[in-house]
Amino acid sequence: MGTALEVKGVNKRFGGLQALNDVNLNVEDGRIHAIIGPNGAGKSTLLNCFVGRLTPDSGSVLFHGKSLLGIQPHQINQAGVSRVFQTPEIFTELTVLENVMIPALAHRDGIFEFNALKPLRKETDIRKAAVDVLEDLGLGDKQEMTAASMSRGDKRRLEMAMGLVQQPKLLLLDEPTAGMSRADTNNTIDVLRHIGDSRGITMIIIEHDMHVVFSLADRISVLAQGTVIVEDVPENIKGNAKVQEAYLGGAH
């Protein structure tokens, strides 16, 4: 099995704060890899380095052998890396369905397509793909709603739908279940597991909810103060002394 994402020696400094300190990470193809760690450990910063929102000061990020650094966010996405944001970044003025059709069109047509005279309603394939994903995530009856008028939890699911509809090779999920009810969280776990199994999508999940992490992850990296302190299979993480120290030490 090959390596999907290879992160080597990534450093990022914000003024006096060393946010990421020599981070190394290997994510294997088709696996679900969780990154956990106390608040401020640099998890979101790390994800930002993968999608072009931040550029590391040094180090390399290779996706199937090709560097993701120094290229535009849309190029990264077109390479097959989709991100689900922690705080929903959706197109609030558009409908739920349109929100999902946009990434679906991007997946099919690339970074730009001049189809100014083609009616949107004739894009039946795109619409079907979007509706399918929305139904998977329990948003089937909310297609025509304006995205702004949805509840917080629904916005998070819409975020996920926008990522999933692209059938990415690598899906980056930043706290996908934060703020969701227990039932919704379990549903999300099922959806992600189903997608991981059936389509073989590689995933990186940042998550605080250990229930989610241990239900899904094949491997876990523990990040503390910008450094990966442990990387192992879930069974070995639970009892790890370093991990407990990182959480307890970071909790006061």
Q: Which one of residues 45, 77, 177, 202 is an interface residue with other proteins (CB under 8 A)? A: 77
DSSP letter at 79?
T
User: Among residue numbers 163 through 192, which ones bind other proteins (CB under 8 A)?
Assistant: 166
User: Among residue numbers 88 through 117, which ones bind other proteins (CB under 8 A)?
Assistant: 89-94, 98, 101-103, 105-107, 109-117
Q: Applying CB under 8 A, does 155 fall inside the site for other proteins?
A: no
Q: How far is the CB of 45 from other proteins (least distance, A)?
A: 16
For residues 116 and 101, give the distance between their C-alpha atoms in angstroms, rounded to a whole number: 16
Phi and psi torsions of 41, nearest 5°: -75, -15
Q: Applying CB under 8 A, does 73 fall inside the site for other proteins?
A: yes
Specify the residue for token string 């990470």: 25
Q: How far is the CB of 100 from other proteins (least distance, A)?
A: 10
State which residue, 168 or 226, has the beta carbon closest to other proteins: 168
Quick one: three-class SS letters along 134-195?
HHHCCCHHHCCCEHHHCCHHHHHHHHHHHHHCCCCCEEEEECCCCCCCHHHHHHHHHHHHHH
The interaxial angle of helices 152-164 and 96-109, nearest 10 deg, is: 20
Q: Applying CB under 8 A, does 71 fall inside the site for other proteins?
A: no
Residues that bind other proteins (CB under 8 A): 51-53, 72-74, 77-78, 82-83, 85, 89-94, 98, 101-103, 105-107, 109-121, 123, 126, 144, 162, 166
